[in-house]
Amino acid sequence: FLKTKRHTVGSVGKSIDPNLINSKFKDWQRDITVWAMKKGRGGIFSGTGLGKTWQQLTWAKLLGENSLVVAPLSVARQTVREGRKIDIDVRYVRSQDEIQNGHKLWITNYEMVESFDFSKFGAVVLDEASILKAIAGATRKKLTRMCKDVPYKLCCTATPAPNDYIEIGNQAEFLGICTTTEMLETFFINANKEH
């Protein structure tokens, strides 16, 4: 029975030499980044202050794709400063018109996502990805739809599921692993039904 419930998701990312990662990383931060690179679509669910910003910027840089990080407004400028600490040039933009050829790593805030053409990006990072938590939320639906065809996706949050398991399903749906409904039907039984 348990074997029928197993859901394995293959890797779609890129294997990298761990030595390409900045020497300021702790060993476990490097290992998580290497894992996320290989997966190509995944989540870094680490507690506050454990280095998600450095990991997500390194992930996006080493993929070599035109990449957009989406973050809360209060975090976007801080991420630009954090990038400088590890020699990564991430530039803040408010619309697709500000994207310049020759540069590949950009950051914007959630309120600006409708000003971007996501078909122009090979990778998207959601910083503070707990924004996906509301099952019926307009933001969750919009981001999932807009990023559906982006090949590489990374969700980063310290709080992936503080309230219930549906929030994990929303992360999986954004990443293109399975829909929230598929996750619920596979792993949970509706206790309201008579058995």
Q: Which residue has the tokens 């058995």?
A: 195
> How much is the pTM?
0.87
The rounded distance, in Å, linking the Cα atoms of 137 and 126 is: 16
Q: State the pLDDT at residue 138.
A: 84
Determine which helix (DSSP H) or strand (DSSP E) holds 10, and give its type and residue range: none
Determine which helix (DSSP H) or strand (DSSP E) holds 118, and give its type and residue range: none
The rounded distance, in Å, linking the Cα atoms of 13 and 20 is: 16
pLDDT digits (tens, 9 = 90+) for 39-58: 999 999 988 889 999 999 99
Dihedral-angle region of residue 51 (phi above 0 means left; psi in -120 to 50 means alpha; beta otherwise): left
pLDDT digits (tens, 9 = 90+) for 88-127: 999 999 999 999 889 999 999 999 999 999 999 999 999 9
The rounded distance, in Å, linking the Cα atoms of 49 and 166 is: 25
> Is the pLDDT confidence value at 187 over 80?
no
**Of 6 and 139, more confident:** 139
State both tokens at 41. Answer: 């679509």
Count CB-CB contacts under 10 A for residue 185: 12
- The identity of residue 25, as a single letter, is F
The rounded distance, in Å, linking the Cα atoms of 31 and 163 is: 28
The rounded distance, in Å, linking the Cα atoms of 105 and 103 is: 6
User: Which residues are within 8 A (CB) of 84 and not within 5 positions of it... i.e. 6 or more apart?
Assistant: none
